Amino acid sequence: MKRFIGFIKKEFYHIFRDRRSLFILFGMPIAQIMLFGFAITNEINNVDIAILDHSKDATTEAIINKISASTYFSINEVITKESDIETIFKKGKIKAVLNFEKDFSKNLIKEHNATLQIITDATDPNTANTISNYINAILQQYQKELNKDVKLAYQIIPQTRMVYNRELKSVYMFVPGVMTIILMLVSAMMTSISITREKELGTMEILLVSPLKPFQVIVGKVFPYIFLSIINAVVIVMLSIFIFKMPVQGSLFLLALESILFIVSALALGILISTISATQQTAMMISLMGLMLPVILLSGFIFPISSMPLPLQIISNIIPAKWFVIIIKGIMLKGVGLQFIWKETLILVGMTVFFIALSVKKYKIRLE
C-alpha cells in the first residue's frame, strides 16, 4: 500500500509540474463549454429581416408587430418593390424577407386564405430552416388568435410542442455532449500519454525491474486521472447550472455514479491505447483520431443517430460515448431514474469490464 501511495504521489508531481497538460486538463473543459454555450448555437436571435408589404392593412400590420415584438427578429428594412429583394439579400445583412400579397386582409376575410411569402437566405441552410420555422410558428399563433371567435368549419391546426427543452436552448443539448468529450479526452488521452511517456523515457524499464505489480502500475497511473476527471465533471455541471441556468432534472448522485462509470471506461480505453503505442505522439494521435472523432460524430451529440446511414448507426453502438450521452441526457434533461437507463448503464458496464480485462491482458510484464 505504501508503494502504491508513493506511486500516486509521483503521478501528481508529474501532472502538476507539466504546465501544458495542466492547462489542457482544466482550461479545456471551461473553454469548450463556453464555446458551445455562447458561440456555437443553433438558436436564432435578433435576425435581421425585411418587409415587402403590398397591402399595408390592419392584418399585415398586426402580423408585422407580432414578429418584431419577438426577440428572434428585428425588422431592419422596409422595401417597396420585388426587384429590391435580390439587392438587399446581396448586401448580406438581411436573412429573410416577408412578402405580403396585395389585399392581404381582404383575401383573408373573403376567401379564408391569404398568402404570405417567406424568402430566406439559404446560404446557411440550418439558419434558413430555423428562421422559416420560427416565422411559421408566429403566424400560426396569430391565426389561432384570429380564429378564436370566428366559427369555422373543422380546421386542423398542427401543434408542435418542444418537450424537455421547451425554450430550444441549444446549450442544454451541448452540455451532455461537451461533458462526454471532455471526460473521454482527459481520461483516455491523458492516461495513454502518461503511460507511453514512461516507455519513451525509459523509466518503464526500471518500473518493470521493480517489485511493483502490473495492476499497481496501472491503477497508480489511472487513479489521479479519475480524481481529476471527477473534478472536471463537477466544474462542467456547475458551469451549466450557474452560468447557463440549466436545470438538472434528475438525481445528481446518479449523475455522479454514471459519470464515474464512463470515466473508468475511458481510462480503460486509454490504458489499451498505451499498450499498443510506443510513443506519446502515437498515443495522442490514436486518442484523437480513434476516440475524439467518433465521440463527436457518432455519439449522437451533434448529429442525430437516427438520421445516419444504417452502417454508421450500427457502428455507433460500439462507441461508449453514445450510451453515456443517452444516459446523461436522460438524467439532466428528462430527470429519469435508473429504471429508464439501466439498459444503457449495463452496456457501459459491460464495455468497461471488457476494456479493463483486455488492457490487463495486453499489459506487458516484459519489454516485448
Partner 1 sequence: MSINISNISKSYKKVKALQNISFKVETGELFGLIGPDGAGKTTLFRILTTLLIANKGTAKVAGFDVVSDYKNIRNSVGYMPGKFSLYQDLTIEENLEFFATIFGTTVEENYDLIKDIYMQIEPFKTRRAGKLSGGMKQKLALCCALIHKPKVLFLDEPTTGVDPVSRKEFWEMLKRLQQKNITILVSTPYMDEAALCDRIALIQNGKILEIDTPEAIVKHNPNQIYNVSADNMYKLINSLKTYKHNHSVYPFGEFVHYTDRRTDFNPKALKVYLESQNLSNIHINKTVATIEDTFMELAK
Interface positions with partner 1 (CB under 8 A)? 2-3, 5-7, 9-10, 13-14, 17-18, 201-203, 205-212, 365-368
Q: How far is the CB of 24 from partner 1 (least distance, A)?
A: 16
For helices 214-242 and 190-201, give the axis angle rounded to 10 degrees. Answer: 140
Q: Is the Cβ of residue 35 or residue 201 nearer to partner 1 in the bound state?
A: 201
CA–CA separation, 249 and 335 (whole Å)? 4
Q: How far is the CB of 208 from partner 1 (least distance, A)?
A: 6
Q: Is the Cβ of residue 211 or residue 304 nearer to partner 1 in the bound state?
A: 211
Q: Is the Cβ of residue 19 or residue 148 nearer to partner 1 in the bound state?
A: 19
Q: Is the Cβ of residue 130 or residue 194 nearer to partner 1 in the bound state?
A: 194
Q: How far is the CB of 3 from partner 1 (least distance, A)?
A: 5
Q: How far is the CB of 270 from partner 1 (least distance, A)?
A: 20
Q: Is the Cβ of residue 16 or residue 354 nearer to partner 1 in the bound state?
A: 16
Q: How far is the CB of 276 from partner 1 (least distance, A)?
A: 19
Q: How far is the CB of 73 from partner 1 (least distance, A)?
A: 56
Q: Is the Cβ of residue 62 or residue 208 nearer to partner 1 in the bound state?
A: 208
Q: Is 40 left (phi over 0), alpha (psi -120 to 50) or beta?
A: beta
